[in-house]
Amino acid sequence: MGIKSKMHQDGVRVVTMDYPPVNALPVAGWFGISDALKKAGSDADTRVVVLRAEGRGFNAGVDIKEMQATSGHTAILGANRGCYEAFKSIYECPVPVIAAVNGFCLGGGVGLAGSADTIVASDDAYFGVPEVDRGALGAATHLSRLVPAHLLRTLYYTSRTITAQRLAELGSVAEVVPAEALDETAFAYAAEIASKDTRVIRAAKEALNGIDPVDVVKSYRFEQGFTFELNLAGVADDLRDDFVASGTSSAS
């Protein structure tokens, strides 16, 4: 259990999330992703990273139960900083990052996938940002990289989800495949990238980040300010308490 990083082959490094039952990450998990991506990018032998998950879903966001079991603002501060560092480490990783998304990709999961360079998904995958139901705001920056502006607002206000197939039609998911073929497909994209001159690919990553119309890192940090306000106002605690009391799975 935890964040695992290993070299697959030919410069393809695999970072795997494994936090049963739904990959709702504790504070340490978010920082674990950041550490793994920073180490991968600083390793000259790494040419591309595949970010994947074990279990029935890619990521269900933050571990709300951990947050509500912690007194004061320690957990919310840790989760916010951890998410910021995780998303930033993917986006700023010197080599391309491929997100292999299985099952649900919710909240912080959209932050992870939306920070990546390429997304491949299983045919049962779906994406959503239910933050408003939890008294938080965030990952709109990353959802905006996946869907057009008005659809972003509709999904954000309603907490509705969108399928990987629909995102493929919109052009943000590269390929949708049966679940059993997901890893193979992600590794195929990775191998193709890894076969290029890594000096050129690393330069291309920096260049493409430099021409993004929105500063992804600063944009997400701006969003987080509103989450802090909602926490200080007590709104977020009320809604998170309701969520924990309901006994609902974080992936529902």
Domain count, the chain: 1
Collect the ranges in the chain with pLDDT lower than 70: 248-252
pLDDT score recorded for residue 240 = 75
Is 125 among the domain residues? yes
In a domain, 54, yes or no: yes
Whole-angstrom Cα distance, residue 252 to residue 10?
38
Identify whether 228 is part of a domain: yes
d(CA 90, CA 49): 9
Is 123 inside any structural domain? yes
What is the predicted pLDDT for the residue at 252?
Answer: 47
Q: Are 96 and 201 in contact (CB under 8 A)?
A: yes
- Domain interval for residue 159: 2-179+199-246
* Domain annotation covers residue 189: no
What pLDDT, on a 0 to 100 scale, did the predictor assign at position 17? 98
Quote the tokens at residue 137: 């705001």
CATH number, domain at 172? 3.90.226.10
Q: Is residue 251 part of a domain?
A: no
Is 242 part of a structural domain of the chain? Answer: yes
Q: What is the mean pLDDT of the chain?
A: 94
Residue 194 lies in a domain: no
Instruction: Please list, in sequence order, all residues whose beta carbon lies within 8 angstroms of the beta carbon of residue 47, skipping any fewer than 6 positions away.
Output: 10, 11, 12, 95, 193, 194, 196, 198, 201
For 118, 214, 222, the CA distances from 144, given in Å and listed in that order, are 15, 10, 14
